[in-house]
Structure 1
Amino acid sequence: MLQQKHISERLDDSEKSKVLGLAKEMCRRPHQSNYKKTISTVLERLQLLPFRKLKFSSKSFFDQNDQKLVRSLKAKFGQDAVLVFGDWSAPNVKYQEPTRSKGLIRMLKKNVFVAYLINEYKTSSHCPTCENELEKFKPVPNPRPYQRKKKPDVLCNGLLRRKSLSCLEQQTTGIKEDFGIAIKQPY
């Protein structure tokens, strides 16, 4: 680390020799924590962080978490589980943790899981059986206080239903015929 140009420019010869001496002593006696504290105080004065050490520890923690996820998935679903993911991906956002979509799928495939991707376009706004659009139907109080005088009630944004019951009737009769069970009609 002392051989890097931007670090060696900030240190004079006495500080360099002090850090090197502390590093040699730390290698000889690794269990004594006072050497680590003195080196960290010197590095704090330089406003340097041991980035390689931080990178290595973060990578090892990621790998441990990945292996823990693989073990729990194998325990819960078995060795021959098929995992289905949506193909949604988003760019990184400032101050937010990045989403693990492609890296997660790649890691699961390395660990002998079968993973499929489904195109998620319009899946929440269209019926899965007849592919007709779904509609908003429930009026709720307006969540925007400054617009409550103009529009006291608005349609709930996340709650959708089918526009026609024909699709639902076809679906329930098919289930009745396949499984021989009675289903209560919703309306």
Structure 2
Amino acid sequence: MEKKWVFSLLIASLVCGFLIVTYFNMSLLLSSLRPPIVETSSHSKVDNLPRFAYLVSGSKGDLESLWRTLRALYHPRNQYIVHMDLESPFEERLELASRVSNDSMYSKIGNVYMITKANLVSYTGPTMVANTLHACAILLKRSPDSDWFINLSASDYPLVTQDDLLYTFSTLDVTSTLSNTQLI
């Protein structure tokens, strides 16, 4: 009877010892597979993040949805230009201009602009392209260091946060974009 107890204890000790050795070997193996941590200053990380330039445009009755979209999209690194076309009443355009200029965050950072001279835009014709190019020209003049341009309407709403978008675009390989190719 005494020998069965010793035999069971010996088997349990061997299994326990095997598990402990395996655990330490696996943790050593996994730690060698991790990339080394390179400490960099947080300033250089911020400089490597992409900058977005947004055009958010709307028409008659879109004041509240345009404002909601702008608030949801806002990030201090980005540039924004808002436009309400000629179809929208003058009062709506004036209210939007007032909101943009009176918002403490927008005026402190200074990265939200409004196209004050409203354009007539038909959303299926060349005027939409002309309006977009006009906004691009203004944004390039005011902030030439933007990396990406995004054109949205007042009815659009972001599905991801700006921080998530910045992270995703900061990990992209941009060697295949037009700016890095040779045009013939």
TM-score, length basis structure 1: 0.22
Relative contact order, higher structure (CA 8 A, sep 6+):
2
Structure with greater Cα Rg: 1
TM-score, length basis structure 2: 0.22
